[in-house]
C-alpha cells in the first residue's frame, strides 16, 4: 500500500504532462495509528495571534469608527477655520490628518478614491458598496455644501501632506493655471468611466501619496509622489489644483455654500496685503472702476459667441468620445483576454499567457466571453460618448464663468478654488488688530 502510494506519486510527478486544475484529492486521508490528531489549518488565522483575532473581531466596527473620526475632523476644522479663524488650528488638524488618515489608516479608503466605488456601484448592481464607503464619499461633499472645501484644507490625507511642505508658494501664471485646471475634469470623467465600465480604478492606481504613507509601493508611484511633494514646496498643492478629481465635485458644491472664508473679520480696507497671500490664487481683487473696464458690449458678445459654440462643442465632444470608445475598450481586462483567446484559438495554439490559461482551463465557453465583451465594448462606447459631452460642457461652463462680468467691492475668496488653508487670515491687518484688541481686553 505504502509503496503503491509512493509509486503513484512518483508517476504523477514524472509523467504528468498537463496539470489538471480540477482533479484533486488524489490520495486518501491517512489512518494514523499513533494517535496523531489532524489539525485544522496552518497557520490558523482564527487563532493566529491575539492581535489579529482582536482586529478581525472589531474590523466591522472599526470601519464605522473611521467615518466617525472623519466627521469629527471635519467639524473641528470648521471650528478652527470659521469660529477661531486660526491658521495654526488648521495646520494642527492637517498634521493630525497626515498622522491618522495617512500613516495609521494607510490611506485607503479615502473620499477621492471612493468616487470610483460609488460610480461602480451605481452602474454595476453586483458591485458591493458599504455605508462606510458611502459615508466617506458623501461627508466631505455635504460639508462643502455648507462650509466650502474644509475637507481639502485639513482633512484630506492627500491635500494636507502638500499643505505641510508648501514653504515658498509661488504664483502660477494665470493662463497656465486656467489651462492646467481643466485636467481634473478629464481625470474625474475618465475615473468614473473606467470604474463604471470595469476597466479599473485609475484614481487609486495613480494615487501619488498613498505609497509614501505605506512606505511601500511601485517605483513609479513613489517617485511621482516624491516629485509632487518637491514641486509642492514651491507650487502650492499641485495635485489638488491640477489633478484631484474629487476637488471638481467639491468645487461645484462649495459654490453653493453660504459660509466662506472671509479674509477680513469685519470690513475690508483694501490694503492689498492679502493679494499675494493665497497659495492657490483663490482671492479675487475688487472689480476695477467702470471706466477702466472693457465695455459691457464686449463681454456680452463673448457670451453670445460661447452660446452659439455650445451645441457644436458638445457635439464634437460626443463624437470624439464615441470614436475613442473602441481604443479605450482595449484597456478592459476581459476585452484583452478575449482578443488573446480568440487569436490563440484561430491559430490553434496552446495558451500563451496566464490569463488565457486560467480562462481555458476553467472551461467557460468562448461564446459566453464574446457576449460579455461585446456588452462591455458597447457600454464603454456609450460611456465615453457621454464623457465627451460632459467634458465639453464643463469646459464651456468654465469659459462662461471667465467671461461673466463680476461686480465686487472688496477682496473676496472664490469659494470653488479656496482650499480653506487659512493663510490669508494671517496677513489681514484687520484680523491682527482684532486679535490685539481681544488680547488687551483679556
Partner 1 sequence: MNEDIRQDSDSAKQVGLSRRSFLKMCGISAIALAGSAMVYKRKELTGTVWQLDPEKCIQCGRCATACVLTPSAVKCVHCFARCGYCDLCSGYFVQKPVALDTGAENQLCPTGALKRTFIEDPYFQYTIDEKLCIGCGRCVKGCADFGNGSLFLQIRHSRCKQCNECAIAVACPASAFKRVPVTNPYLMKTDVPGGGKA
Which 227-286 residues touch partner 1, going by CB under 8 A? 253, 256-258
Out of 74, 204, 335, 419, which residue is the one contacting partner 1 (CB under 8 A)?
204
CA distance 429 to 435: 10
**20 vs 438 by CB, closer to partner 1:** 20
Q: Verify binding: residue 365, partner 1, rule CB under 8 A.
A: no
Out of 71, 75, 141, 180, which residue is the one contacting partner 1 (CB under 8 A)?
141
Q: Verify binding: residue 201, partner 1, rule CB under 8 A.
A: yes
Q: Verify binding: residue 47, partner 1, rule CB under 8 A.
A: no
CA distance 156 to 102: 9
**61 vs 168 by CB, closer to partner 1:** 61
C-beta separation of 234 from 170 below 8 A: yes
**90 vs 136 by CB, closer to partner 1:** 136
- Write the DSSP symbol of residue 233: H
**90 vs 249 by CB, closer to partner 1:** 249
Q: Across the chain, which distance is largest between two alpha carbons, in Å?
A: 106
Q: Verify binding: residue 349, partner 1, rule CB under 8 A.
A: no
C-beta separation of 270 from 161 below 8 A: no
CA distance 377 to 40: 46
b/e 76-97 (16+ beta carbons within 10 angstroms → b): bbbebbbeebbbebbbebbbbb
Binding to partner 1 in span 1-30, by CB under 8 A? 2, 5-6, 9-10, 12-14, 16, 19-22, 24-30
Element (H, E) at 345: helix 333-347
Element (H, E) at 412: strand 412-413
Out of 353, 374, 378, 401, which residue is the one contacting partner 1 (CB under 8 A)?
353
Which residue from 224, 72, 62 is spatially nearest to 151, judged by alpha carbons? 72
Out of 95, 132, 277, 310, which residue is the one contacting partner 1 (CB under 8 A)?
132
CA distance 62 to 106: 14
Q: Verify binding: residue 129, partner 1, rule CB under 8 A.
A: yes
Q: Verify binding: residue 34, partner 1, rule CB under 8 A.
A: yes
Out of 354, 368, 440, 442, which residue is the one contacting partner 1 (CB under 8 A)?
354
Binding to partner 1 in span 71-110, by CB under 8 A? 106-110
Cell numbers linked to 407: 461686480
Contacts of 109 (CB under 8 A, 6+ apart): 117, 132, 133, 136
Q: Verify binding: residue 300, partner 1, rule CB under 8 A.
A: no
Phi, psi of 344 (to 5 degrees): -65, -45
Binding to partner 1 in span 181-200, by CB under 8 A? 200
Binding to partner 1 in span 143-172, by CB under 8 A? 145-146
**222 vs 394 by CB, closer to partner 1:** 222
Out of 177, 344, 355, 372, which residue is the one contacting partner 1 (CB under 8 A)?
355
Amino acid at each position: 500500500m505504502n509503496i503503491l502510494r509512493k509509486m503513484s506519486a512518483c508517476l504523477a510527478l514524472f509523467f504528468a504532462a498537463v496539470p489538471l486544475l480540477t482533479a484533486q484529492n488524489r490520495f486518501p486521508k491517512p489512518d494514523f495509528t499513533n494517535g496523531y490528531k489532524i489539525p485544522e489549518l496552518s497557520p490558523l488565522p482564527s487563532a493566529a495571534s491575539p492581535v489579529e483575532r482582536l482586529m478581525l473581531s472589531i474590523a466591522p466596527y472599526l470601519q464605522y469608527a473611521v467615518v466617525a473620526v472623519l466627521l469629527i475632523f471635519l467639524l473641528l476644522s470648521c471650528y478652527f477655520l470659521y469660529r477661531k479663524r486660526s491658521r495654526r488650528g488648521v495646520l494642527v488638524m492637517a498634521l493630525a490628518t497626515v498622522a491618522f488618515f495617512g500613516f495609521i489608516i494607510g490611506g485607503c479608503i479615502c473620499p477621492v478614491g471612493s468616487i470610483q466605488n460609488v460610480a461602480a456601484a451605481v452602474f454595476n448592481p453586483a458591485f458591493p458598496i458599504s455605508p462606510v464607503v458611502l459615508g466617506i464619499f458623501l461627508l466631505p461633499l455635504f460639508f462643502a455644501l455648507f462650509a466650502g472645501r474644509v475637507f481639502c484644507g485639513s482633512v484630506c490625507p492627500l491635500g494636507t501632506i502638500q499643505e505641510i511642505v508648501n514653504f515658498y508658494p509661488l504664483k502660477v501664471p494665470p493662463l497656465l493655471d486656467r489651462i492646467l485646471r481643466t485636467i481634473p475634469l478629464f481625470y474625474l470623467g475618465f475615473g468614473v468611466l473606467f470604474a463604471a465600465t470595469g476597466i479599473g480604478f485609475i484614481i487609486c492606481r495613480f494615487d501619488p501619496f498613498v505609497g509614501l504613507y505605506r512606505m511601500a509601493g511601485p517605483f513609479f508611484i513613489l517617485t511621482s509622489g516624491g516629485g509632487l511633494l518637491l514641486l509642492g514646496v514651491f507650487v502650492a498643492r499641485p495635485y489638488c489644483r491640477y489633478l484631484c478629481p474629487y476637488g471638481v465635485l467639491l468645487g461645484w458644491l462649495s459654490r453653493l455654500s453660504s459660509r466662506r472664508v472671509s479674509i477680513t473679520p469685519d470690513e475690508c480696507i483694501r490694503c492689498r496685503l492679502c493679494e499675494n497671500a493665497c497659495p492657490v490664487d483663490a482671492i479675487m481683487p475688487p472689480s476695477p472702476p467702470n471706466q477702466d473696464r472693457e465695455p459691457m458690449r464686449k463681454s456680452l458678445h463673448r457670451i453670445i459667441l460661447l452660446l452659439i459654440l455650445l451645441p457644436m462643442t458638445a457635439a464634437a465632444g460626443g463624437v470624439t468620445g464615441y470614436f475613442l470608445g473602441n481604443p479605450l475598450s482595449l484597456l478592459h481586462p476581459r476585452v484583452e483576454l478575449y482578443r488573446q483567446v480568440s487569436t490563440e484559438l484561430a491559430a490553434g495554439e496552446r495558451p500563451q499567457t496566464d490569463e488565457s490559461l486560467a480562462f481555458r482551463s476553467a472551461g467557460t465557453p468562448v461564446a459566453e466571453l464574446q457576449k460579455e465583451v461585446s456588452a462591455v465594448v458597447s457600454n464603454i462606447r456609450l460611456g465615453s460618448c457621454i464623457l465627451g459631452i460632459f467634458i465639453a460642457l464643463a469646459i464651456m461652463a468654465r469659459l462662461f464663468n471667465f467671461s461673466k462680468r463680476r461686480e465686487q467691492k472688496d477682496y473676496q475668496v472664490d469659494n470653488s478654488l479656496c482650499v480653506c488653508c487659512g493663510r490669508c487670515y494671517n496677513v489681514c491687518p484687520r484680523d491682527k488688530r482684532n486679535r490685539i484688541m481681544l488680547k488687551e481686553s483679556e
